[in-house]
Structure 1
């Protein structure tokens, strides 16, 4: 009976591994890939980091575009793309932000990916960005595992930080994100979520968010800034960092 149970779990684990995507499954990923950079600026408008945004080259359209299924892109290929471009990163830029999904970070091979990236750019701070909806809509088991992983990363690495991005003005986000705030280093807000209009109700203002975050030692980033009004809001509230099309669109790193 014990042997039969062991065989069953081995088969189940093998099937689960073969179906796993987002780490090292290369199926259907045969195009040319490259990271574009979007600069992150501080309060004084000095560039402090890049968010690395994956792009795929389309020979048919003769242009770089967002890859299909980017949320499940194999992390080994992501590391290869970073390695190919590592020498192009400006020495004055000390931080690189990389997007990952919750499932990717929870995979037991994700630590290998992070160690690989650290080896490629040992002089940079690596910020792993997790999408707020991905985090908050995860089931109870995923959230519990994520908290465990965040504690391990905080204890084990001094040059890898975690950011939650895409944080909006909803009451749901405001109330449900609390459990993660002591375990992350950065929080990035979506500027469009705080646009006041007749068709868009703001449950929680950016000022209220900033007041809530006072007890946490977090870097606050206003992302997707596209208008002067949004920039003025960032300046008024003395937001630590800002990023968006108003300052720079994602561009090839040269």
Structure 2
């Protein structure tokens, strides 16, 4: 069984909530766990759970983000579910985050871009998630950047703390791209006060991580949280 968990995204300059991210997890005997690869999640299941979840969301914020990989982007049922979710959520804005998972086929960026434009034309924002990892390296996403409203960098993907100089340089690299292109830059994986303070030092205001709030289960049934 799959369900979405919701995690806050904050603007630390004015200490305000700017949005939530929907994070899909699978219910297993040992507890809720994220899929090892989101390609394992059947497209029909992802579409069904997304629509059911958006129907129960009543949030007084600007946006809700949802992750899709390239396989899901190319899937008609998933795209239809995303359009339906945006319709349900209005005036809330849906942000479609394209993850770094390696696709099953070698589709071209031109094919992805034409579909991303459909989302944007429908009033959604497009985001490039987990940049610097997987297939979301700069040379592979360069022609998608003009479409994006935001870039996200997840420090937990590198198995090191933000205060490592190498991670710092990567963060600064993507932060500067966003400043140049007038895009939002969200730093994910902030786990403690030291991470928070260094993000202050680097001038990164938009943040997400356990330090600000752990993901919370959005139940579709009363017994979803029973094991």
Question: Shorter-normalised TM-score: what interval?
Answer: 0.7 to 0.9
Task: Specify the alignment match of 1:12 in structure 2.
Answer: none
Please say if residues 37 and 101 of structure 2, whose CA atoms lie closer than 8 Å, have aligned partners that are also in contact.
Answer: no
Q: What's the RMSD between the two structures over aligned residues?
A: 3.1
Task: Specify the alignment match of 1:55 in structure 2.
Answer: 25
In the alignment, the residues of structure 1 paired with residue 179 and residue 170 of structure 2 have an alpha-carbon distance, to the nearest angstrom, of 15
Please say if residues 38 and 69 of structure 2, whose CA atoms lie closer than 8 Å, have aligned partners that are also in contact.
Answer: no
TM-aligned CA distance change 1:110 to 1:142, over 3 Å: farther
Please say if residues 76 and 113 of structure 1, whose CA atoms lie closer than 8 Å, have aligned partners that are also in contact.
Answer: no
Q: TM-score, normalised by structure 2?
A: 0.77
Q: Give the match's secondary structure for 2:214.
A: coil
Task: Specify the alignment match of 2:112 in structure 1.
Answer: 146
Structure 2 gaps, min length 5: 220-227
Structure 1 gaps, min length 5: 1-31
Alignment of 1:9-88 (within 5 A): 32-43=1-12, 44-58=14-28, 60-61=29-30, 63-67=31-35, 70-86=38-54, 88=56
Task: Specify the alignment match of 2:215 in structure 1.
Answer: 250
Q: Give the match's secondary structure for 1:118.
A: helix
TM-aligned CA distance change 1:138 to 1:239, over 3 Å: farther
Task: Specify the alignment match of 1:125 in structure 2.
Answer: 93
In the alignment, the residues of structure 2 paired with residue 46 and residue 76 of structure 1 have an alpha-carbon distance, to the nearest angstrom, of 35
Structure 1 runs of 4+ with >6 Å offset = none
1:94 aligns with 2:62: yes
Higher Cα Rg: structure 1 or 2?
A: 1
TM-aligned CA distance change 1:76 to 1:240, over 3 Å: farther
Q: Write out per-residue CA displacement over residues 190-238 of structure 1, whole angstroms, 9 at most, x where no aligned residue.
A: 12447354xx845944233322332313111001111323212322333
Q: TM-score, normalised by structure 1?
A: 0.70
Q: Which has the higher helix share?
A: 1
